[in-house]
Every structure is written in structure tokens, then in C-alpha cells.
Structure 1
């Protein structure tokens, strides 16, 4: 299993890169997990959240410049297909300057965003009118679009966190608050 660094409340970390003597400092006055939760809650209310690999890929293909943030849960399963999809989305985000956050679990994303039931579809991709519960598979990739108006404080904090940690390897894993 690869090394994971989980960021928790009130962290203060320094990473030194021996080659470039780069120092990364994260002095987190507020818990990034709480800020991400607030960002997702506000985005959900404003209908700026896209969940699921297929929907996310479609949005990235058609309107990548409208995406403020991509959230990928850490994949601890042996599902090779999911790992490949996640790696490709991560690379796409990197190439297109889309902020990326890795979180500790798809289950937490499902709890936070999955309160609204998903409308089921028939074989012709037409809504049936029945509601089905969202599953954790629906939260293997979550995209948050740019706000129409002024970004919230939590939006700005999450984007700042992404900028501060984008060059870290391995990328930090945020402990998402629910």
C-alpha cells in the first residue's frame, strides 16, 4: 500500500525537498476537512456538484474550464478499472490546471452529498420517476463548478489549500468532516 499522509485539524507541517531545498509549509488555522465540507454543502445548494465517473468525464470533456475543484477519494480496493479512471482524471486535472483534492473515503462523500436520491433510468436512459439511493460508486469522482457570483470563504480556502499542496508527492489526503 502506498504511503498516505492524512491531514487533520490544526496541522502545522513542513516538508523539505533535499534537491531544491523547497519547503512546504501548511499552517492551517481552520480544518481543511471542515472547509471542504462547507464548500461542498454550499455547492450542492447551488447545484454546482457533479458526481460519478461518467458524469464527471462528460463535464470535463465539454466544460473543463467551468470546474473549480475535482475531489477523488483514496481507492483502497483492488479495482484496477477504478484505479485507471482515477489516474486518468488526476492527470487531466493536472494538465488543465483544475484543483484536485484527495479525500479519505467515498463513504464520507456519499454521506455528505448523497442525501438526495438519484432518479433511476430505464434501458433507454429515460427517467422512470422512481428514486434509488445513491451508492458510494456515485462518489468515486466529484466535481465542483465555479460559483456564478462571489466565491464563499470556504471555496477560497479550499482553492488556496490546493495551490499550496499541488506539488507535494504523495499528495495529501484530507480527512473529510461529515
Structure 2
């Protein structure tokens, strides 16, 4: 599914001076790490199926805008976003499905990247605590959560422009 050349990103921090958009670089880091750790669900229908069984298993839901005139996909995305809001899953809208594919090293042009779920890192199923241990998240994941928290509750989700490379 993904190109084997995708490798774990060693540094989890980013510099606002070095990057055009720190949030877009942060998304890139989070996606690449989650890909290496096999914590992604790719595609709108697989994401909906995953969430119907594991509503507490996703940390982020990245979506792209539906093509103009594609009302069926638009309705699914609206319902998905409402479900995510209800289940406290951070929704992040990005500008390009093509950039998501490149970012994750996918060369299959037919594969649907209109929605990508990033699952929580491994959680101990035998733990009595139902709370997420935020200390196991990467710095980039915590930075992305901070960004989402600052923008939580707005009726319009901000579209983030992903880096070209």
C-alpha cells in the first residue's frame, strides 16, 4: 500500500522559522510516523467502518474537500465530521489529496485519500485507566492537538495547506 522508502522521522520538533507553515510540517511528521507505526486508516469508507467499531481509537481525522458537485461524498464528510466532533476526534481539513498521497509515498492513483485516520499509539488493554496517557504521544502529535484545541468549536474547519514536498 505504501512505498517502503517511507522512514520514521527522527526529530519530532519543528521550527517556525524554517517552515512556511509549522502546522503543515507537523501534520507531515505525524502522518509519516503513524504510517511507519501502522496507525493509519486510509479512505473515507474504511474510516467510517473503523469508527463504527472503534469510536475511541482515532486521534485525528484528516479530510480533503469534496469535488464540487459530489453531494454524496460531501454528505458523508459532513456526517463524519459531526461524528468526530461528538467523539472528540480532532478533524483537520487539508488542501490536497494528491499531497497526502505523496507525503505517505503512495503511488496508486486510484486509492482514496479523501480521509485519513490517525489512530492513538498503543494503549495497554489491561490498564484500569480509561484516560489517554498523553505522555506517549510524540511532540508533533501534542503540537497538533494544541492547534486543534485552539480551533475547536468553530463552525468552519480551517483548510491547512500541506507542503509541496
Q: TM-score, normalised by structure 1?
A: 0.70
Match in the other structure for 1:144 = 118
Match in the other structure for 2:139 = 153
RMSD: 2.3
1:172, CA displacement in angstroms?
1.0
From 91, 100, 108, give the equivalent of 1:100. 91
Provide closer, same or farther for how the CA distance between residues 168 and 174 of structure 1 changes in structure 2, counting only shifts above 3 A.
same
Higher alpha-carbon deviation: 148-157 or 31-40: 148-157
1:114, CA displacement in angstroms?
4.5
The aligned runs of 1:122-141 (5 Å cut-off) are: 133-135=108-110, 138-141=112-115
Higher strand share: 1
Match in the other structure for 1:22 = none
Structure 2, unmatched stretches of 5+, are 1-14, 124-135
Q: Larger C-alpha radius of gyration, 1 or 2?
A: 1
Structure 1, unmatched stretches of 5+, are 1-8, 11-28, 118-132
Could you list the runs of 4 or more consecutive aligned residues of structure 1 that deviate by over 4 angstroms after TM superposition?
none
Is the counterpart of residue 39 in structure 1 residue 13 in structure 2?
no
